[in-house]
Homo-oligomer: A and B are copies of this chain.
Amino acid sequence: MFLYTKNFDEQKAKAMEGLRKALEAGKVDRDIITLLEKINSMENYFTTSSCSGRISVMEMPHFGDKVNSVWLGKWHREVSFEEVLGAIGRHRKGQLWFLVRSPILHVSARTMEDAVKLLNLTIGLGFKYSNIKSVSHKKLLVEIRSTERMDVPLGKNGELWVSNEYIARIVGIANSQVRRFKRKLKRLEEEVERLKS
């Protein structure tokens, strides 16, 4: 069985090089950088991908077709009604959705024991959808994820199905979800180094 990751240190060195480039290119969500640094400072873990959570307006040919989906607007923070309306204004064809996604971090662990320690810590800090996403001789991957989420159909092929008033209301709900998961991220940032001891 796969109790530890082969060539963990080599893999980590490569991942850290990739992260360094992503940081230089400004491709990492800013408010998650300190958390990534803390995780990567521990010898038994490294991050492979991350998103600090987001609100978005997305156009997709049909549900689940990620490949042909287009973001009309994407924000890793609270948004204003006007910003969302601006994104909706760019809609032309396909299904139009308003989405909220919780933060998501993928963390590679050296051993299964390390993976389980991180899993249990994050579940305890409110990231209740955290799990072990894959187990192989190549990697032991922990996914850190929370419950906040919205999937609201707004229209189709240029036609809008909802009122401006409705959009204002769902923006309000989405912003409260963003505040909620940002608080959880902050707490994770404060507590994650407990794994060192």
Instruction: Please tell me if the beta carbons of B165 and A112 are within 8 angstroms of each other in the complex.
Output: no
Cβ of A192 under 8 Å from chain B:
no
Nearest B residue to A132 via CB reads: B132
Cβ of A59 under 8 Å from chain B:
no
| Residue in B135, B163, B173 whose CB lies within 8 Å of A112 | B135
Contact with B along A153-195 (1 / 0, CB 8 A): 1001000011101100110010011001000000000000000
Chain B residues, Cβ within 8 Å of A147: 64
Answer whether A113 and B151 are a contact pair too, CB < 8 Å, given A63-B173, A166-B162: no
Chain B residues, Cβ within 8 Å of A161: 163, 165-166, 169
Cβ of A1 under 8 Å from chain B:
yes
Nearest B residue to A123 via CB reads: B134
A184 CB to nearest chain B CB (Å): 11
| Residue in B63, B64, B135, B156 whose CB lies within 8 Å of A132 | B135
Instruction: Please tell me if the beta carbons of A112 and B153 are within 8 angstroms of each other in the complex.
Output: no
What are 29 inter-chain pairs, A to B, with CB distance below 8 A? A1-B111, A1-B113, A2-B112, A63-B173, A63-B176, A63-B177, A63-B180, A64-B147, A64-B148, A64-B180, A95-B173, A131-B131, A131-B132, A131-B133, A132-B132, A132-B135, A150-B151, A150-B152, A150-B153, A151-B152, A152-B152, A152-B153, A153-B170, A153-B173, A161-B165, A161-B166, A161-B169, A162-B162, A162-B166
Interface residues, chain A, CB within 8 Å of chain B? 1-3, 63-64, 95, 111-113, 115-116, 119, 131-136, 143, 147-153, 156, 161-163, 165-166, 169-170, 173, 176-177, 180
